[in-house]
Amino acid sequence: MSDRQKEEKRQRNLEYAKKFKKKKKKKTAPSPNPFILMAPAAGPFPATCARCKKQTEVPFRPTGLKPVYCDECFAMVRSGAYVPLPTEAEPAPVG
Ligand SMILES: [Zn+2]
């Protein structure tokens, strides 16, 4: 490759970089990145315990799909002392 070709390529790259920069600057997406919502966010987040309705804090973002428990109730759930009732429709008995 000759020096001239190199220089031309460099110019093209510069122009491309300029265009790309401009385009990127213009393209400020107002919608949040969905991956940010998926990523573990820095807690704690305020939440209401699904069992005792006490205000508590959880290290993860409450999704609203799964019940959130305070430390006390979570310990009970983990140990099996408290079995949360399924909120979804129970599976129909077979037969
Ligand atoms: Zn609780």
Per-residue pLDDT reduced to its tens digit, 4-54? 899 999 999 888 888 877 655 556 656 666 655 555 557 788 999 999 999
Distance between Cα 49 and ligand 1 center (Å): 5
Distance between Cα 53 and ligand 1 center (Å): 6
Report domain extents, the chain: 40-79
Distance between Cα 38 and ligand 1 center (Å): 26
Supply the pTM of this predicted model. 0.46
- Residue 16 to residue 78: CA distance in whole angstroms: 57
Distance between Cα 87 and ligand 1 center (Å): 17
Residue of 33, 41, 78 whose CA lies nearest to 63: 41
63-88 as b/e: b if 16+ CB within 10 A: eeeebbbbeebbebbeeeeeeeeeee
